[in-house]
Amino acid sequence: MTGKLRLVCRQWADWLYVHHLYRTLSFEDGNRAMRFIIHQITRRSKSFPRARCRSLQVINILTWGPPPLDPATQHPMARAMMRKRGEVITFEILEALIELFSDSICELDLRFWNVLSLPTRTIGTIGRIENLHTLRLGHELPEKGLAPQHGLHPILDDSDDEDFDEQIRRHNDNMDLGGLFGNPSTPIDMNPVKSKIDHDCLKSLILATRKLTSLDIIDLDPVCLPKPMKSSFIDHQFPAITQLEVSLEGQSLSRLKDLSILLKPTLKVLSLKDRLEDRDHSENLLPVFENLRETLEGLFITNESMIKPIINLEFPKLRVFKTIFWDGSIIDLLEKPIFAHSPIEVLVLQSEIIDHKPKGKFRSNPFTNLPMLKRLVFCDVRPGYSPPPAYVKACKARRVECVYLSPTDGENVSLIMKL
């Protein structure tokens, strides 16, 4: 994106510096992060106002251990983006970045090379962020093929651990086989001993962030979730989390029931993602929805199949519903009892999926079953997009507003909940 720049007075320059220059920051290279930190500490005049950062993303945090092997190929799983030594983000760099903006960070996104593990000191630094309300935790899951990368040089290597060293050697030997290239594999539980999992890290992070309201662990390897979760958090004061985003891949689903019990007093928004849309989660999801049925205000799912076990349940507060895939026409989807039993005001659909459905007139207005509907949101919209005429006509007949969201905004659960 480009734009015209113009000179402004010192007062305006200071205001822009404080409120906008570093509003959103992302670091994935340790060397560049260090240069930024040094510049902020040593070169920025103390007479100038302090800049604010609301959203901080730190990628490529290296802990230890090679990635787990894919059971099918016995090659390292394609979810680690390798870097040279020095390019990775260390705990010290992460702490320094957070301390620079501890009074202004509202959203923190941490992406780990392999294992979610942070020292107690680093967790304490995160806990001192004054107004942190959104925490995103995950592993690096490249969506495209990667260029050839250098071998692994873990920072926290134990020279006495011969098995661990052998894993490193095998990992580096296998890199030329292409095991790290291509689409990411489904996360699975790793061996907690060989992978040196820190099971207490996630628990400590959640408990340290007292003002946390939104937790996104969609890209987090499920092994990082304590099991059983409920007993892991017993006798602890849980933050009032109102929004949870989680993947159904690997073993995450087995922990989701415990999470739904823990968060039942406060949770209002649930986002479930499954990259393998043909799997049936009905049996495991039913108790989750039963736990949250009375309080859920927003439900975001990948596929209509996720609501099969609850099509006859009533969600008295469900105001926002989003799905990406569904079978048949939109009428077939919205005729299900769950929609008649819920006060849905905002329906969110994927524009590309709509365009691939059969064209033509509807046999009846698809929104008749949604008497409270106010907005139909088309997600992943490109410039110049126009919805099918049948949708426009159906919206006009029910006085439903059409809203269009870009690919980025269409993934923003918080933004959609404000519509």
Domain positions in the chain: 31-144+163-203, 268-419
How many residues does the structure list for the chain? 419
Phi then psi dihedrals of residue 24, to 5 deg: -130, 125
- Residues 238-290: tens digit of each pLDDT: 899 999 998 887 656 667 888 888 889 999 999 998 876 566 777 788 889 99
What's the pLDDT at 68?
Answer: 47
What's the pLDDT at 144?
Answer: 39
Distances (CA, A) of 240 to 17, 234, 383, 401: 33, 15, 38, 33
Phi-psi region at 344: left, alpha or beta (left = phi > 0; alpha = psi -120 to 50): beta
Contact 269, 413 (CB under 8 A): yes
What's the pLDDT at 232?
Answer: 62
What is the per-residue DSSP string for 370-417?
A: -TT--EEEEESPPTT----HHHHHHHHHHTPEEEE--TTGGG-HHHHH
What's the pLDDT at 407?
Answer: 93
**Average predicted confidence (pLDDT) for the chain:** 79
Q: Is the pLDDT of residue 181 over 80?
A: no
What's the pLDDT at 146?
Answer: 36
Short-list 243, 309, 303, 302, CA closest to 273: 302
Q: Is the pLDDT of residue 124 over 80?
A: yes
Contact 207, 238 (CB under 8 A): yes
Q: Is the pLDDT of residue 64 over 80?
A: no
What's the pLDDT at 319?
Answer: 98
- Residues 297-353: tens digit of each pLDDT: 999 999 988 888 888 899 999 999 999 999 999 999 999 999 999 999 999 999 999
pLDDT above 90 coverage of the chain, percent: 44
Short-list 234, 292, 227, CA closest to 266: 292
What's the pLDDT at 17?
Answer: 58
What's the pLDDT at 271?
Answer: 96
Cα-only R_g, the chain: 23
Q: Is the pLDDT of residue 403 over 80?
A: yes
Bridge partners (DSSP) listed for residue 401: 375
Higher pLDDT, 266 or 83: 266
Determine which of 169-173, 205-209, 411-415 has the lowest per-residue pLDDT on average: 169-173
Residues 102-122 have a mean pLDDT of 89
The pTM (predicted TM-score) of the whole model is: 0.79
How far is 325 from 140, CA to CA, in rounded Å?
A: 25
Is 3.80.10 the CATH number for 268-419? yes
